[in-house]
Amino acid sequence: MTVNKGRVFLVGAGPGDPKLISVRGMEAIQRADVIVYDRLANPRLLKHRRPEAELIFVGKLPDKHILKQEEINQLLVDLALQGHVVTRLKGGDPSVFGRVGEEAELLVDNGITYDIIPGITSSIAVPAYAGIPVTHRDFTSSVAIVTGHEYPNKTYSSLNWEHLAKAIGTMVFLMGVANLEQICRELIRCGKPPEMPVALVRWGTWADQATITGTLADITEKVREANFKSPAVIIVGEVVKLREKLAWMEKKPLFGKRVLVTRARSQASELVDLIDDLGGEPVEFPVIRLQPPSRQEARQALDNALERLQEFDWIVLTSANGVEFFFRRLRELGIDVRRMGNARIAAVGPKTAEALAERGIIADVLPAKYHGEGILDAIQGDLNAGQKVLLPTADLARDYLPSKLTELGLEVTEVDVYENVLTTDDGEEIIHLLQNQSIHIITFTSSSTVTNLLEALKQLGVEDPISLLQGVEIAVIGPKTAETVLQAGLSITFTAEEATVASLVQSMIQGGGNPS
């Protein structure tokens, strides 16, 4: 192998749920110079790529191929010969009707090193997500995985229908919705009883997952009446009866909901994980990026305040992000945390208090209500005129708390420890989902997430962002965020009782409040 040749990873992305990819598959995404992917690979996986990695979509639609398979094969070769590390991301498992053999053959012919990284095949995972195990000791110990369509102008004459009908227990057909009538007719002709249970699972493991059940005799008509489209997995066999008892995914409280998360990626993980755990599909669009203050005056004001840390009687921290950037700057300046030993520490809420505790500091004050009014109520009895208060906040923080403290005769030093910056990364995908009404809930955790989402959509070419968001349910944390949403002309469906991510998610489950 010559030094200028690259390497190709042929990776199974799994059936759709991005957490079903293998560790080795994720590593291939993170290593790639170029990622070549199709429509059945969840776009959320692409967020794990290196920022400079190139993306090439070769997705095949039922009625349209952007690139023919031979062209994809050659593309992988050409990219590797240019010295790139290439990850070919394919839905399901690349060896199960994924044509990985054809891609690998051409790589071998050109002397290119490659790895085949298996994925969880949709033929097993999709039925499982619908509550249908493909084998069960009380029903069958065998399963056949069959392509639902073959090459153009080719019939099913190459399939041994009689063998399938008589010798195999469960049959799973992939990519076969268009040929469902023929599949059912052939199986009945070869001896399968017309009352044999059948299930079709569309977009299995995705938020759009839908299941329809019937028998060989009536499933075709049911699918036609429901306008049930591909991509769908067809399961034929007695195990389909288990769905009524074992369907687990549909029972999750957020099943079928695709939820847009607008928080900065650095702070979105808790919300994303909660949505995912409760059966929803989180879609990250971090319209905010957090960073240290960019203005020289703000940086200097922060440093001046930190250099005289020992002078403050109170230090009030209003977010976990504020804690992170506050202590980061202390480290950078080489300031010993013990210099704040004279001050009483107030945290606006449990997450802020937790962030402090992780650094060995227990908050002196934690209010019952997690916002500026609540923290003022909690500390007001201990305040004395002339005391010095340090408020390390964000550049867009509301002015309620500093103004009220000043009115009470305290000397307030408010400094920006971080700022919110607008970002539009991956915005085209979000617009596509919104236009197709595929986003069901939008979460706003601060006023800046509201204003930045609207501005990001404008920068991406959406003339009327409010119209695009009409009809989407909206969930908010905090009165200021709610006020910003309403002032923008949107309605609120869910309101968190407390200013926490857990409370926000709980409001979506229970129905929340509607102040609109």
* β-bridge pairing 473-476 and 60-61: unpaired
Q: Is 60 a known active-site residue?
A: yes
92 in Cβ contact with 61 (< 8 Å): no
What single-letter DSSP state applies at residue 59?
A: P
Task: Say which amino acid occupies 303.
Answer: D
Instruction: Give the per-residue SS3 of 181-229.
Output: HHHHHHHHHCCCCCCCEEEEEECCCCCCCEEEEEECCCHHHHHHHHCCC
Any idea which residue has 């619908």 for tokens?
130
Phi, psi angles (nearest 5°) of residue 117: -110, 110
Q: Is 38 a known active-site residue?
A: yes
Strand partners, 8: 86, 114
Of the residues 38, 192, 257, 416, which is catalytic? Answer: 38
* Calpha distance 223→229 (Å, rounded): 8
Closest CA to 126 of 247, 275, 281: 247
* Calpha distance 208→232 (Å, rounded): 11
Of the residues 33, 90, 175, 257, which is catalytic? Answer: 175
* 111 φ/ψ sector (left φ>0, alpha ψ -120 to 50, else beta): left
Closest CA to 495 of 444, 454, 452: 444
Crossing angle between the packed helical segments 447-459 and 427-435, to the nearest 10 degrees: 90
| Dihedral sign, Cα of residue 277, residue 280, residue 283, residue 289 | negative
Could you check whether the bond before residue 231 is cis, i.e. omega within 30 degrees of 0?
yes
292 in Cβ contact with 418 (< 8 Å): yes
* β-bridge pairing 197-202 and 232-236: antiparallel
Pair of tokens at residue 269: 């993980």
Three-state DSSP class for residue 345: strand
Torsion of CA 438, 441, 442, 443, to 10 degrees: -150
Of the residues 5, 47, 60, 252, which is catalytic? Answer: 60
221 in Cβ contact with 198 (< 8 Å): no
Q: Is 26 a known active-site residue?
A: no
* Calpha distance 407→380 (Å, rounded): 12
* β-bridge pairing 85-90 and 113-117: unpaired
Q: Cite the active site residues.
A: 38, 60, 175
